[in-house]
A = this chain, B = another copy of it.
Amino acid sequence: MKKERQAAILKIIATIDVETQNQLIAELTKLGYYSTQATISRDVKDLHLVKELTALGSYRYVTRGKPDILNHAARLRTIFRESVTSYAFAQNIVVIKTLPGLAPAACSAIDTMGIKSIVGTIAGDDTGFLAMHDMDAAERFCSEIEEMLR
Contacts and interface: CB of A to CB of B under 8 A. Distances in A.
A111 B101 contact: yes
Contacts of A105: 79, 83, 101-102, 104-105, 108
Contacts of A15: none
B100 A108 contact: yes
Nearest to A3: B58
A76 interface: yes
A26 interface: no
A72 B55 contact: no
A70 interface: yes
A99 interface: yes
B82 A99 contact: no
A79 B56 CA distance: 10
Contact of A78 (B55, B111, B112): B55
A82 B55 contact: yes
If over half of A's interface residues share one DSSP class (helix, strand or loop), that class is named, otherwise mixed; here it is helix
A89 to B, nearest CB: 22
Given A46-B57, A82-B75, A108 B112 contact: no
Given A83-B105, A104-B104, A105-B108, A75 B58 contact: no
A112 B100 contact: yes
B79 A102 contact: yes
Q: Give the 8 A-B CB pairs with smallest separation, nearest first.
A: A105-B105, A101-B108, A55-B81, A55-B78, A75-B82, A104-B104, A78-B82, A79-B82
